[in-house]
């Protein structure tokens, strides 16, 4: 295995899922605070007011990570902790900056390299109230740029790895098409008071791409020459395999699935040829998909210095043969998903999460698909699983065999992909410790550390997977 891969092994987290302190020391509310405080929106009626209390116990987190043998740490900044009202003319909250500054110093003092995400879904509520945030591209961009500028200015002396957006596609579809995530908009009036699934996702996706382009341009011109960091975006994507490989329609459907999910963002950023969304999306969505202006084309193409990959599972997909016009609410390329293929082969062992099964067979295929299409270095920025029945603390639970097997198999596929010649520079597990899993509340546990959420200090207990990964990566490094 290449030393590049083994040189960055760690876990990823996100501010709204771990920090707590939702209104402490001047932090403003985010759209996720609002959603969590709206009855009926979160599965277990919980909120993230306290979460893992990482705001209070970040030193414990760093000490844990050190004991887990990591070399880096990927976390996100809460925009409304840094600029409570979010806007370009709004005051900066020095206490918020100080928190992140302290965390970064603590990491560096322990030999851990910070990877920092600017936006992991917690939009300042004030920007939603003022102008519907990303639905208003011209108002949003200056506000995002000012936020990015403050982060680069105040933290960029020590942060050398920046990620602008985490999974723009998931943020967009869960928030504006499905409507179960913040800001909770969709055409489904039983669930959401406002929204239009047929148009808003495409606008919000475009705003993220373009604002990412502007932020990278600013970083390159004003900060990179002196700070010498790197900057990119992290995209979500799972492998899609045809349900019936011998059926050309299913093969085309699997390709469409990958293009709607991944190439939606990746083609404009990394693609060859003209800067545009994939042809199958233009064909299905027509004028509902925004056009890139000449300036936007220049800004977006080449705007990510690596491919940040979040991936969890693989699916079998089949062409939607129902026939008739494709409904305007469809945002996935007119397909259906299956847990088994035509021959009854399962996509993988179940986890505690409906959509997530252990399907490492698709991981290497996905790495190859990305590499062959875009030829940029890949950072795996999230990968991990829940485990059935992980709930109450017991000895058996801490021996998380299912998670260990997941990591063993996925990292095994990763090692093969490196041997295939694919340039892979990191492996980040999701996640350091159990946390607030968005609309699932505390019911889905993804951590290599168990958190007892019933204790005021959110007591942390290492699961066996943490030691397994530490030893596994030590072994891989020794071999490389
Ligand atoms: C990541 O998103 C997030 O970055 C992270 O914050 C989160 O905690 C972690 O994963 C675990 O969920 O249509 O029912 O098949 C992963 C996003 C979630 C995208 C599930 C695809 C499919 C749901 N994925 N989703 S379904």
- Domain ranges across the chain: 9-479
Q: Which residues lie closer than 8 Å to 365 by C-beta, 6 or more apart? A: 239, 241, 314
**478 exposure class (CB count in 10 Å sphere: 0-12, 13-18, 19+):** exposed
Amino acid 65: pLDDT: 98
Amino acid 480: pLDDT: 66
Cβ atoms 27, 84 nearer than 8 A: yes
Amino acid 353: pLDDT: 98
Residue 106: phi and psi, rounded to 5, are -65, -40
Positions of the chain with pLDDT under 50: 1-4, 6
Q: How far does the centroid of ligand 1 lie from the alpha carbon of residue 437, in Å?
A: 9
CATH level 2 (architecture), domain 9-479? Alpha-Beta Barrel (3.20)
Tell me how far CA of residue 76 lies from CA of 29, 82, 272, in angstroms.
16, 12, 30
Q: What is the DSSP letter of 356?
A: -
The reply to whether 305 belongs to the active site is: no
The reply to whether 167 belongs to the active site is: yes
Cβ atoms 141, 188 nearer than 8 A: no
pLDDT in tens, 307-325: 999 999 999 999 997 778 9
Q: Which of 43, 122, 167 to mutate to test the pocket of ligand 1 (most atoms within 8 A of CB)?
A: 167
Amino acid 323: pLDDT: 77
Amino acid 7: pLDDT: 72
Residue 411: phi and psi, rounded to 5, are -70, -30
Strand partners, 75: 116
CA distance 304 to 293: 19
Ligand 1 pocket by Cβ (under 6 Å): 14, 166-167, 170, 236, 310, 354-355, 382, 430, 437, 446
Cβ atoms 364, 409 nearer than 8 A: no
Q: What is the pTM of this model?
A: 0.97
pLDDT in tens, 33-60: 999 999 999 999 999 999 999 999 999 9
Q: Residue for token digits 């003209």?
A: 274
Amino acid 9: pLDDT: 95
Q: Which of 170, 437, 438 to mutate to test the pocket of ligand 1 (most atoms within 8 A of CB)?
A: 170
């Amino acid at each position: 295995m290449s030393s590049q891969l083994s040189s960055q092994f760690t876990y990823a987290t996100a501010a709204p899922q771990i920090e707590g302190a939702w209104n402490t020391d001047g932090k403003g509310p985010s759209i996720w605070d609002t959603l969590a405080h709206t009855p009926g929106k979160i599965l277990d009626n919980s909120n993230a007011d306290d979460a893992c209390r990482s705001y209070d116990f970040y030193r414990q987190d760093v000490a844990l990570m050190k004991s887990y043998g990591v070399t880096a740490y990927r976390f996100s900044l809460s925009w409304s902790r840094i600029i409570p009202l979010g806007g370009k003319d709004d005051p900066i909250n020095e206490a918020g900056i100080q928190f992140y500054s302290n965390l970064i110093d603590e990491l560096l003092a322990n030999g851990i390299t910070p990877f920092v995400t600017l936006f992991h879904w917690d939009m300042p509520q004030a920007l939603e109230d003022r102008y519907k945030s990303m639905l208003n591209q011209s108002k949003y961009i200056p506000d995002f740029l000012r936020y990015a500028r403050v982060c680069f200015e105040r933290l960029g002396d020590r942060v050398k790895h920046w990620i602008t957006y985490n999974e723009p596609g998931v943020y967009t579809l869960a928030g504006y098409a499905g409507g179960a995530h913040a800001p909770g908009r969709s055409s489904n009036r039983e669930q959401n008071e406002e929204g239009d699934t047929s148009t808003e996702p495409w606008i919000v996706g475009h705003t993220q791409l373009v604002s990412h382009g502007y932020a990278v341009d600013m970083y390159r011109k004003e900060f990179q020459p002196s700070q010498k960091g790197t900057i990119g975006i992290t995209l979500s994507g799972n492998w899609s395999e045809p349900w019936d490989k011998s059926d050309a329609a299913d093969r085309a459907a699997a390709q469409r699935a990958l293009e709607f999910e991944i190439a939606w963002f990746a083609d404009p950023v990394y693609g060859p040829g003209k800067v545009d969304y994939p042809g199958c999306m233009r064909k299905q969505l027509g004028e509902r998909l925004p056009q890139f202006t000449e300036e936007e084309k220049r800004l977006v193409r080449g705007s990510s210095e690596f491919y940040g990959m979040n991936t969890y599972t693989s699916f079998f997909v089949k062409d939607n043969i129902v026939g008739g016009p494709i409904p305007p609410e469809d945002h996935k390329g007119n397909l259906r998903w299956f847990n088994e293929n035509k021959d009854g082969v399962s996509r993988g062992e179940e986890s505690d999460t409906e959509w997530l099964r252990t399907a490492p067979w698709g991981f290497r295929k996905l790495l190859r698909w990305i590499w062959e299409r875009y030829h940029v270095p890949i950072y795996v920025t999230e990968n991990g699983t829940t485990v059935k029945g992980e709930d109450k603390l017991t000895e058996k639970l801490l021996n998380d065999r299912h998670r260990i097997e997941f990591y063993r198999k996925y990292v095994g596929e990763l090692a093969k992909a490196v041997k295939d010649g694919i340039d892979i520079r990191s492996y980040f597990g999701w996640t350091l410790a159990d946390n607030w899993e968005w609309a699932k509340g505390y019911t889905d546990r993804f951590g290599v550390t168990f958190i007892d959420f019933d204790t005021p200090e959110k007591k942390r207990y290492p699961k066996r997977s943490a030691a397994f990964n530490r030893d596994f990566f030590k072994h891989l490094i020794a071999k490389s």
